Structure formats: C-alpha cells, structure tokens
Amino acid sequence: MEIMSDLQRDLVEEVLARAPLTSLRAMRFTCTKWNNLSKNGSFIKKQIAEAKKKQAKEFEVIMVMNFRVYLMSVNLSNGDSSISTKGKLIRLNDANHQVDIRSLFHCNGLLLCITTDSKARLVVWNPCFGQTRWIKPRNSYHNLDCYALGYEKKTNNSHLSHKILRFVGKYYIFSEEEPSFEFELYSFDSNSWKVVGVTPPPQWECCYQRGLSLKGNTYWYAKEKHPGEQDFLICFDFTTETFGPHLPLPFHSSSSFGDTVALSNVGEEQLAVLYQCEFTLRMEIWVTSKIEPKEVSWDKVFLAVDMTPLTGFRFSTANFFIDQKQNVAVVFDRDEDSSRSIAYVIGKEGYFQKVDFDESIDPNSYPVMCSYVPSSVQI
C-alpha cells in the first residue's frame, strides 16, 4: 500500500485500470485517494480501453441469475470454450436492503434494472462508478410494463441525453380488437416523465420481449396481428422520439408464439437475430450489413444448425451473442432437465459444447444476459 502511494499518478492509473470491474468497490474503499482516482475521467478512459483490449481475447457479459447480477468471462479460443464467474457486481440496495432484479436492459454501459417486488420499480445503474438513480413513476408502475433505455444524439455530439421509454400494452389475443398502447418518456436531463403521443405501425405485437439497444435506439422483434402474421423489426428513435417503419427480417416464423426469436449486438454497429423453429428445432442466425431506424439489410446466414441431435429442445429465452472470428454462437438458457443455467456453444460442422455454470435456477427466474463494456456516463 505504501509503495503504491509513492508511485506517480499516471502509473497508478495504469495499474488500477487493469483491475476487474468486480474489484472497483473494494478499491474505492481502500483510501480516499483511490476513490477520487476511480472517478477521474482519464482513469475511466484507460479502464474502458483496457476492457476493449480484453474483449478482443474474451467476452465480458452481464448476467442475471437467481435475481442477482454477475460479471461473466467467456473465452472461446482454441476450440475449448470456458465460461467463468468473475463475481457479483456491487449490490443494489434500497433502505439498506438488497434488491432482487427481475430483468435488465443495457445501453451505453448503463443498466436499467427492473426489481422483482410488487411495485416493479426502476433503477439505473452504472457499475463502473457504482452510481445508481432510482426512477420514480409519473403515477405508478405495473408488472406488465415494457421498457427501453436509449439516448438522443445532439448535433455537436458533445452530450448524449439518455432517456427511458415506458409502455404498457393491452392485448386481446383471442379477439378481433386491436391492442392499444400507452407511452411515457423519462429524461435524465429534466429528471421527469412526459406522455408521448407516438404511434407504432398498426397491428403490431412485441410479445413482451426485451428490446435491444444499438447506437442509442431500441429495436424489438414484432408481428402483425392479422392473417399471415408478418414478422418484422420495429425501432424507437430516441432522437426524434418516434417509431420507424416495419424493417424486414430474413425469415418468416411458422408459429404465433412457439418459435424462438432473439436479438443481440455484434459490436457497436451491427445487430444479429436468432430464429429457431418450434417444429423442426432448426436454428438460424443472421447479421445485419446495415441497420438504421428506417432501413435494414442482411448478410447471408451466419449459422444454420439442426438442434435436434444436439439438444433436442427449443431454446426458451435464447439470450445469445456471436463470435465472428471463431464462427460460433453462444446461447444462454436453462437446462430442461436440471433447471441449471447453461451456455451452449454452437458452431459449424457439428461443433457443440455445453458449459454448466454450476448454478441452479429459481423456477421463476430465467437467465438474462447482455454484453458489457464499462462506461464513463455519469447518472
């Protein structure tokens, strides 16, 4: 400790920037000097640069298991995949009580967490700084609410204005009556909600899936509610505060709700979509060549695999990411027999590996995963 305190500031930054995210809280409590250093802009930039270097060799992902948030390390090199738990992230507390997390939404290094309690409260969290902001509702929250986190792009790019979209839909699955939606938008700058009169494309159902944040906007998989049930992507643009048009997908699902569809980031500019048929269990993954709120184009299929001889079942949640260098996909789900959290590493020419996290999953909990790189955004 005395040796570290004698080192020059730049050298201390270089050393501490290599500390894992799960050690930051302990580092801040070590001494006032380190606490102040960890919140310094130059230190955060170095830490983010180190995190991106690590991502070239291994992925770091955030996972919610049994209502707790973990940082996981995924190494896919040399054909022998390994996934390890680096540790629990800083606990979220409210009135000195640990808070259980039902789900989360990631955007730009920030985590929007939804609690499990009856009020289904919202808290925004930057694990890098250990900062939290509890978001009070305009009136009240509801367990069926859907959320998205994004940001408005200012013309000078000097400031990103983060916002939360909240909507609750009233669905009439066995009726001809169209679903209706109510939308509210929360601004971090004004610390307030407002009702927004946006109108999504007609006759859509988002099936209560989590959206995916990409370049500050949020995309959902959706379906039309009429004979034929066309599949498409729908985007909410946080800059214009509007929904875009239907964006075509490279597949058409064969079932109203039985097929599995999931979205994932590929770096900071591309989106991947996973589709698994309920009846054939064939899984296909495509990657965008271009994607904007009003336009999308797709590359040829990244991976196509018959999962019947490999798992024999359809993925239920299919949180996933792909590694284009290794030509594999990693799908996070729960084991059908043991209800344990499992990662399935799937590649071409029959490559398959099953990685057990050695963690039993609560019957009411499903693993939720997102990729993560530390952020300097202050909340």
pLDDT tens profile 315-351: 987 789 998 888 899 998 877 676 778 889 999 888 9
How many Å apart are CA 325 and CA 335, to the nearest integer? 27
Domain boundary among 42, 57, 72: 57
Same-domain pairing of 53 and 63: no
**Closest listed residue to residue 132, CA positions, set 121, 147, 118:** 121
Residue 288 lies in a domain: yes
Same-domain pairing of 191 and 97: yes
What was the pLDDT predicted at 91? 56
Number of separate domains in the chain: 2
Same-domain pairing of 28 and 137: no
* DSSP-assigned letters across all residues of 99-144: PPEEEEEEETTEEEEEESSTT--EEEEETTTTEEEEE--SS---TT
DSSP-derived pairing of the beta strands 160-170 and 180-187: antiparallel
156 CB-near residues (< 8 Å, 6+ apart): none
Same-domain pairing of 115 and 15: no
Residue 6 lies in a domain: yes
What was the pLDDT predicted at 2? 46
Q: Quick check: helix, strand or coil at residue 360?
A: strand
Same-domain pairing of 168 and 293: yes
Residue 376 lies in a domain: no
**Closest listed residue to residue 324, CA positions, set 307, 342, 308, 300:** 300
Tokens for 178, please give them: 């169209």
108: CATH = 2.120.10.30
How many Å apart are CA 231 and CA 222, to the nearest integer? 6
pLDDT tens sequence for the chain (379 residues): 444 455 556 666 665 666 655 556 556 656 666 666 666 666 666 666 666 666 556 678 888 888 888 888 888 875 677 777 766 665 555 555 677 888 889 998 899 988 887 777 888 988 777 778 889 988 888 877 889 999 998 766 667 899 999 987 654 444 555 556 788 999 999 999 999 887 766 556 665 568 899 999 999 998 876 655 678 999 999 999 999 999 999 998 766 568 899 999 998 899 999 999 988 999 999 999 999 999 999 998 999 999 999 999 899 877 899 988 888 999 988 776 767 788 899 998 889 998 887 666 676 667 788 887 777 777 7
Residue 377 lies in a domain: no
CB 347 within 8 A of CB 335: no
CB 42 within 8 A of CB 13: yes
Same-domain pairing of 275 and 357: yes
Phi first, then psi: give them for residue 173, nearest 5 degrees.
Answer: -65, -40
CB 318 within 8 A of CB 274: yes
Domain extent, residue 236, equals: 58-371
Residue 3 lies in a domain: yes
Start-to-end CA distance of the chain, whole Å, equals 31
